[in-house]
Amino acid sequence: MLLAGLSLYLLVTLGMLLAPNIDVLIGMRMLLTANSRAKINHETEGFVKILADANTDQILGVHMIGPSVGQLIGEYCVAMEFSASVEDVALTCHPHLTRSEAGRQTAMGVHGWTMQA
């Protein structure tokens, strides 16, 4: 389900995944306060969260809340269409000083990786 406005939920909620007993991996809620572009634009409210299958690493859903998240959701639409894994997104180069880095950092966080040491 895709909602208009500042909140976008791609396909599923956590409750929908837990019902059929899917082993769900939940990516950290990457707060937009950590995103450089969001800081520059004074639009740091919100977060990105990834829901993935713990066994296959396949992206099952994405939750995004905040200003301009509509610009970020397309990457995950394509990733889910082609059954991309969370690792696929995490290993894909994202341009620096853009909001898209929030998507990559969230994917990295699913496996405990960090962008900066």
Q: Respond yes or no: is residue 111 known to be catalytic.
A: no
**And the tokens for 71?**
């610009």
**What's the one-letter identity of residue 117?**
A
Angle at 94 between CA 88 and CA 95, to 5 degrees: 170
The catalytically annotated residue of 42, 63, 94, 96 is: 96
**And the tokens for 65?**
């809340």
Q: Say if residues 37 and 69 touch (Cβ distance below 8 Å).
A: no
CB atoms near residue 61 (< 10 Å): 20
By annotation, the residues acting in catalysis are 96
